[in-house]
Amino acid sequence: AAVPLTTIRAHGQQIANSLGCEFADIHSIFPIFSKSNSLGLWMDDLHLNVYGADMLCRHIYNYLLK
């Protein structure tokens, strides 16, 4: 990527903090990309597939909504 996702994440956190908003880093709930990709959770380098999306939704429900 031209700009690493860690840089984008850091800027997103800064913007959220300056606006008084919460920031959720969805990449932090998954193992490193090579491992989670080998588990079949990604459609491509940036987008979850149906299995990865299910894992993300369950995490959001269990840790934020339940």
**pLDDT for the residue numbered 50:** 97
- Lowest mean pLDDT, pick from 5-9, 21-25, 26-30, 59-63: 26-30
Rounded-to-integer distance, Cα 52 and Cα 39, Å: 9
Tell whether the model's pLDDT for residue 3 goes beyond 90: no
- What's the gap between Cα 56 and its chain centre? 8
* Cβ–Cβ under 8 Å, residues 15 and 45: no
How far is Cα 47 from Cα 19, in angstroms, rounded to an integer?
27
Residue 51 clears pLDDT 80, i.e. is over it: yes
Residue 3 and residue 55: Cα distance in Å, rounded?
26
* Residue 1 confidence class, pLDDT cut points 50, 70, 90: low
What percent of the chain stands above pLDDT 90?
52
